[in-house]
């Protein structure tokens, strides 16, 4: 079985997001990048399946050369090879088109992604890829097991969960507790050095123009109430903010 894991490389959640005034876009200065946390779950499950049942795991990222250390980390965790589509996508459709073009040339059985990227929070790339390839789509998947020629999944829905049988090929968005996050072993880090990262050109255009980014101002009141006067809170919620 061939599994493609698509990863986003995103600023660590502890980073302070700022705007670069010369471009009016999010500044990447001084930010630490990580593999998206949901994507990490997807990769961890793919590696578990490789270890338990045998599978070829390929990691794909659409982005610049700066992401290579993170792609190497995925190889150190146990992915067999990696593909980087070299460009700077600004929209979900550019990312999904790039993935779709790759898969049309290099078919796979299963595509695992995170349920959403923690920078753009769109939660749609997996659905866009599934629609364009005609693969089955489920999201967000909390448990995944192989079953005959398909998969048994536990999927979250609005207001509950469901167990489904999913045929292959499929595109899934993953979330915890699908797998345990993994730490690369020394041996993994050594062998990753010789694994291949194929770089392919980025060709996708989008009709959506990004004008600028802004920092959201969420001014909180920061009003402290003494513990002995705690009951006053209820009155303030009723009168000052009208939420009760």
Partner 1 sequence: MKKVAIIAQTKEGQLSDASKQLISYLSSFKPESIFIVALGEVKFSSIAASSSVDVVHLSDGLWCDTATVQPLVSALDGYSVFGIKSIQVDNLLSLLASISSNEFVSGIQQLQYVSGSYSINKSIFSGKASLSLKTQTASYFSFNRNFDFSGNAEFAEQPIKSSSTLTPGSASKSTIKSLKPITGSIPLPDASLVVGAGRGLKDPGNWTIVEDLAKALGAATACSKPVSDLNWRPHHEHVGQTGVKISPNLYIACGISGAIQHLAGVNGSRVVVVINNDPEAPFFKHADYGIVGDVNDILPRLTKKLQSH
Q: Choose, by CB under 6 A, the member of 43, 55, 57, 63 that binds ligand AMP.
A: 63
Instruction: Give Cα separations from 156 to 7, 22, 89, 114, 141 (angstroms).
Output: 21, 42, 29, 14, 6
Q: Restricting to residues 42-101, which ones interact with partner 1 according to CB under 8 A? A: 91-93, 96
Shortest separation between residue 130's beta carbon and ligand AMP, angstroms: 11
Q: Choose, by CB under 8 A, the member of 78, 126, 197, 202 that binds partner 1.
A: 126
Between CA 80 and CA 77 the distance in angstroms is: 9
- Pick the closest to residue 67 from 129, 5, 7 (CA basis): 7
- Pick the closest to residue 39 from 26, 56, 57 (CA basis): 57
Q: Choose, by CB under 8 A, the member of 88, 196, 239, 243 that binds partner 1.
A: 243
Residue with tokens 């599994």: 3
Q: Give Cα 241 distance to the centre of its chain.
A: 36
Per CB under 8 A, 21 contacts partner 1 = no
Other CB atoms within 10 A of residue 167 CB: 11
Between CA 207 and CA 173 the distance in angstroms is: 25
CB under 5 to 8 A by kind: which of ligand AMP, partner 1, none does 177 bind? partner 1
64 vs 188, beta carbon nearer ligand AMP: 64
Q: Restricting to residues 115-174, which ones interact with ligand AMP according to CB under 6 A? A: 116-117, 120-126
Residue with tokens 């969420």: 218
7 vs 178, beta carbon nearer ligand AMP: 7
Shortest separation between residue 36's beta carbon and ligand AMP, angstroms: 5
- Pick the closest to residue 119 from 227, 4, 35, 235 (CA basis): 35
157 vs 186, beta carbon nearer partner 1: 157
Shortest separation between residue 159's beta carbon and ligand AMP, angstroms: 22
Print the binding letters for residues 70-99 with ligand AMP: x by CB under 6 A, - otherwise: -------------------x--x--x----
Q: Choose, by CB under 8 A, the member of 2, 137, 182, 195 that binds partner 1.
A: 137
CA terminus-to-terminus distance, the chain: 54
CB under 5 to 8 A by kind: which of ligand AMP, partner 1, none does 6 bind? ligand AMP
Strands 2-6 and 150-157: unpaired
Shortest separation between residue 18's beta carbon and partner 1, angstroms: 9
Between CA 125 and CA 193 the distance in angstroms is: 29
Instruction: Give Cα separations from 39 to 5, 46, 104, 140 (angstroms).
Output: 8, 11, 22, 12
Residues in contact with ligand AMP by CB under 6 A are 6-8, 36, 38-39, 60-63, 89, 92, 95, 113-114, 116-117, 120-126
């Amino acid at each position: 079985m061939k599994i493609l894991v698509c990863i986003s490389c995103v600023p660590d959640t502890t980073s302070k997001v700022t705007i670069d005034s010369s471009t009016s876009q999010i500044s990447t200065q001084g930010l630490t990048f990580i593999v998206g946390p949901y994507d990490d779950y997807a990769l961890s499950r793919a590696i578990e399946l490789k270890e338990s049942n045998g599978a070829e795991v390929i990691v794909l990222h659409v982005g610049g050369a700066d992401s290579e250390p993170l792609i190497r980390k995925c190889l150190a965790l146990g992915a067999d090879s990696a593909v980087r589509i070299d460009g700077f996508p600004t929209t979900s459709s550019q990312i999904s088109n790039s993935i779709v073009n790759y898969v049309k040339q290099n078919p796979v059985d299963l595509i695992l992604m995170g349920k959403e990227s923690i920078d753009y929070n769109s939660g749609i790339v997996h659905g866009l890829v599934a629609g364009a390839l005609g693969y089955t789509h489920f999201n967000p998947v909390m448990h995944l097991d192989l079953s005959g020629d398909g998969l048994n999944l536990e999927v979250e829905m609005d207001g509950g969960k469901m167990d489904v049988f999913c045929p292959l090929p499929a595109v899934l968005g993953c979330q915890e507790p699908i797998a345990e996050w993994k730490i690369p072993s020394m041996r993994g880090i050594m062998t990753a050095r010789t694994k291949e990262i194929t770089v392919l050109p980025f060709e996708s255009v989008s009709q959506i123009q990004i004008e600028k980014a802004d920092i959201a101002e969420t001014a909180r009141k920061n009003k402290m109430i003494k513990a002995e006067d705690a009951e006053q809170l209820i009155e303030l919620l009723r009168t000052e903010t009208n939420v009760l």
